[in-house]
Amino acid sequence: MIDANELKKAMGELDEESVISIMKQVMEEGGLDAQAALEACQEGMNIVGERFQSGEYFVADLIFAGDLMTRAMEIIRPALAKTSGGGKVGRMVFCTVKNDLHDIGKNIVKAMLEAAGFEVIDLGIDVPPERIVQAAIDNEVKIVALSGVLTLAIDSMKATVEAFEKAGIRDKVKIIVGGAPVTAEYCKYIGADDWSINAAKTVEICRSWASA
Query: Residues 106, 18: one domain?
Result: no
Q: Show which of 56, 83, 110 is a domain's final residue.
A: 83
* Residue 184 confidence (pLDDT) above 90: yes
Residue 134 belongs to a domain with what CATH number?
3.40.50.280
How many domains does the chain contain in total? 2
Query: Residues 189, 145: one domain?
Result: yes
Query: Residues 75, 149: one domain?
Result: no
Query: Residues 117, 197: one domain?
Result: yes
Paired strand residues for 143: 174
pLDDT digits (tens, 9 = 90+) for 93-149: 999 999 999 888 898 888 888 888 899 999 999 999 999 999 999 999 999 999 999
Write out the residue range of the structural domain in which residue 169 sits: 90-210
Other CB atoms within 10 A of residue 174 CB: 20
Q: In what order do the strands lie in the sheet with 143-147?
A: 118-122, 90-96, 143-147, 174-178, 194-195
Query: Residues 125, 69: one domain?
Result: no
Residue 67 belongs to a domain with what CATH number?
1.10.1240.10
Largest Cα–Cα distance of the chain, in whole Å? 51
Query: Residues 169, 110: one domain?
Result: yes
Query: Residues 47, 135: one domain?
Result: no
pLDDT digits (tens, 9 = 90+) for 34-60: 889 988 998 898 899 889 889 999 989
Give the closest residue to 22 by CA, choosing from 60, 68, 57, 66.
68
User: In this predicted structure, what is the pLDDT of residue 25?
Assistant: 95
Q: What is the pTM of this model?
A: 0.81
User: In this predicted structure, what is the pLDDT of residue 84?
Assistant: 58
* Percentage of residues of the chain with pLDDT beyond 90: 68
Q: How many whole angstroms separate alpha carbon 62 and alpha carbon 114?
A: 20
